[in-house]
Structure 1
Amino acid sequence: MEQLAADDLDLAERHAPEEQVEAAVALTVLYEPVPTALRRLTQADESRRRLGDG
């Protein structure tokens, strides 16, 4: 998790100082759903393995 936080800040710092807040918000809006979606896909896959295909 620390590495993800560092990567987020590194991406925001690539922008001009006056754009960094906008960049941080955009990164949050765009990237935050990705780990959640991956977790849900992984949970569905694990459920299929444990419970069978139906």
Structure 2
Amino acid sequence: MWLLFLSDRAVVGFDCNPMIFTADDTGLWSFTKYLDQRKAAPSSSRGSQHLESAE
């Protein structure tokens, strides 16, 4: 895992998926969010409608 400090209170970590950690006023670090979030996949019902119309 590697870390990149963005500021005194924010760090990016990477372990197969980049993550942001932030520190609060007491210096306690906590996970904030993943940077590489996947977008929602299209619904399967839409794809099946497309297949039915092609037949």
TM over 0.5: no
Which has the larger Rg?
Answer: 2
Larger helix proportion of the pair: 1
TM-score (ref. length: structure 1)? 0.30
TM-score (ref. length: structure 2)? 0.30
Larger strand proportion of the pair: 2
